[in-house]
Structure 1
């Protein structure tokens, strides 16, 4: 690489910033340049300098990344052209990758657009994100769950949530990673086991090799399975995998090592990470999983928003009505409680049937002698 070309390279930190500004992983950048992921890491840390044809290609790619984001039509042309120019086994992001390759804008859909570039409406930006990420996400969710319908449902729910929070997602540094995290969380939720539709197992893959690999994946704990798919399937590096799984880097490394050991124990020919990545891509692509249309996802998400909004309004009205009824019927002054009943002492027991005793006869005569009316019935006279 000549001195004039080397002078065009930005500082190492700027190289990484340009890559991350377009949501490119090191594996995807390495696949474009035809080098290893470790080489790209060394370039971004300043440990080595690019040279030769790969260095020239690196300079041109960084210059392209420094340009303003492309419009939606240019995004699709770039994506299709890049997909046709690479083979099936090139790049860890191919087949399973999610990150938009220099296409998804990191700004708000309503922010200012550079002159000469068409502005994207929120609908168009969401559709572009969905068209680029949803097919790969469904395949990844299938590797996590082993269920085709659950994989599609997880991706649709994740994008519906993204549409509900679109201003936040559109400004996110990695919108594809945001949606991927939501899809993984929904797919690996333990509550699905209680749903009637997911209690019975689905038909396994027809190929015995695919069936053995899927069974080995499903034997892993969810966190180990997610780490393996992110690192060996999607192509994230270890710190990015640890961040997305909310674990430390040593913990993610331990999970990855243990997951590879379990898979290699069930399928010995997959002890090589490169072979494991290739088989994961083949297994995910064999099932022909298809996601719904982006317009349908947006429509269902909006209907769900309307439903929950109305439910919240109805619940609020119910609480207000119950509070009003309580205030109307509540007492306005203090009412002491009624004392509990007590037994009266000194009351003679009721007499049995028969002749009256002398005391009772005397009491009856005294009562008969008393006046039937008069003031003495009201005011007792002193004796």
Structure 2
């Protein structure tokens, strides 16, 4: 066990587990202690050991995280702003109360993060509300998830980055850009990135996730996530040279997200809309099933009950002599024609057979 002169420290893996149990990001822990995020990452991986006053502060923080997670309050910073919210829901809370606590905890920062991904204020609000509606529909599963906030964040990001929004009339035209020129330049640089690069940059430099967590949430390998992050930082630095420093980029992302006054709907509204959407799709599924059953019944009643041989295709008859063309009349035929013309209109006299 690694120890500081004053207080003992848990093993590196336990340090990370304690941080994620609250949950806290490495950036939040680094700000509380007064060190860089890279330093906290090195402490959690075991590459370095905290010492001196910083080590004592780190030990005290871990000791506080090891206490009952249902007591006290948790302070989370996302995109540069802090919010004081109640601790994770206690077992006595109802599902609606637990959902409302998660919504109040995550939705303000999540709307700002989604705005960095899309550059659209209305789409950011819609994406977050849609993600929480899905979470309420699947609440037993989400409530048991190891990271409910991460589940909602991933769902909101997927919805926000869907290419189908470009076909919706309300999202065909760009929204007014930020008023500040520096904010406009940064947002323009972000929107020029491919969606996967933009998402990786926002998660790592905006939210403050570690590289393995970023790779897991973007469904990529750690080397692939690192490559995306490197190229995204280079592309942003090419458009805004003063943001070549990751620390400066993190600060500017927080400032840009905090500039826009974005708020989602109240949690009761989100739950109500989610329940209405669930009832609508349930009724639609029932109606569709009834229609299929009716069509199947009609087909069974009108279908033939015996086998009818199909009519074969037409075939040409072989061996029939070709029709001969009319030629000149013979002498007998000419005499017969003359006789018929000389007869009265009633025709020739009736002929009777003679007895033998």
Unmatched segments (≥5 aa) in structure 2: 327-332, 337-350
CA distance, structure 2, for counterparts of residue 239 and residue 96 of structure 1: 24
TM-score normalised according to structure 1 size: 0.77
- For 2:238 and 2:82, locate their aligned partners in 1 and report how far apart those are by CA, in whole Å: 26
Match of 1:376 in 2: none
Residues 160 and 300 in structure 1, CA contact (< 8 A), matched pair in contact too: yes
Q: Which residue of 1 aligns with 2:80?
A: 95
1:27 aligns with 2:27: yes
| Residues 1:267 and 2:252 aligned together | no
Tell me, yes or no, if the aligned pair for 1:26 and 1:37 is still in contact at 8 Å.
Answer: yes
Q: CA 1:12/1:101 → structure 2, altered by over 3 Å: closer, same or farther? A: farther
Answer yes or no: is the 8 Å Cα contact 1:30–1:40 preserved in 2. yes
Q: Which residue of 2 aligns with 1:380?
A: none
Give the 5 Å matches for 1:44-55. Answer: 44-55=44-55
- Structure 1 distance, partners of 2:119, 2:352, is 104
- Residue 302 of structure 1 deviates from its aligned partner by 0.6
Q: How does 1:132-281 map onto structure 2 within 5 Å?
A: 132-281=105-254
- CA shift at 1:20, angstroms? 1.9
TM-score, normalised via structure 2 length: 0.83
Q: CA deviation at 1:56?
A: 2.9
Equivalent-residue separation in structure 2 for 1:35 and 1:282 (angstroms) = 20
- 3-state secondary structure, aligned to 1:5: coil
DSSP 3-state at the match of 2:309? coil
Structure 1 match to 2:38: 38
Q: Deviations over 1:117-148 (max 9, x none)?
A: xx211111111111111111111111111111
Q: Deviations over 1:202-242 (max 9, x none)?
A: 11111111111111111111111111111111111212111
Residues 45/268 of structure 1: CA separation in 2 closer, same or farther (3 Å cut) = closer
1:17 Cα deviation from its structure 2 partner: 1.7
Q: How many aligned positions are there? A: 331
> What does 1:336-347 correspond to in 2, within 5 Å?
336-340=309-313
Q: CA deviation at 1:101?
A: 8.6
- Seen in structure 2, the aligned counterparts of structure 1 residues 97 and 258 have a Cα distance that, compared at 3 Å, is farther
- On the 8 A contact 2:111/2:263 being kept in 1, the answer is yes
Which whole-Å deviations, capped at 9, do the CAs of 1:64-104 have from their partners, x for residues lacking one?
A: 22223326xx5xxx24xx47xxxxxxx7x453689x99933
For 1:102 and 1:195, locate their aligned partners in 2 and report how far apart those are by CA, in whole Å.
38
Structure 1 residue 62: Cα displacement: 2.1
Residue aligning to 1:377 = none
Distance 1:95 1:39 in 2: 19
Q: Deviations over 1:213-272 (max 9, x none)?
A: 111111111111111111111111212111111122222122112111211111122122
Note the C-alpha offset of 1:288.
0.5
- What is the Cα-based RMSD across aligned positions, in Å? 3.2
Query: CA 1:339–1:250 in 2, change beyond 3 Å: closer, same or farther?
Result: closer
- Select between 36-45 and 196-205 the one with higher mean Cα deviation: 36-45
Q: Give CA deviations for 1:298-317 in whole Å, capped at 9, x if unaligned.
A: 11111110011011111111
Q: In the alignment, is the contact (CA less than 8 A) between 2:80 and 2:251 conserved in 1?
A: no
CA contact (8 A) 1:220 1:262 kept: yes
- Contact map agreement 2:108 2:262 (CA 8 A) in 1: yes
C-alpha deviation, 1:46, in angstroms? 3.2
Mapped partners of 2:85, 2:18: distance in 1: 12
Q: Any idea what the Cα deviations from partners look like across 1:36-79, whole Å, max 9, x if unmatched? A: 223323332334333333333323322322223326xx5xxx24
- Partners of 1:227 and 1:97 lie apart in 2 by 22
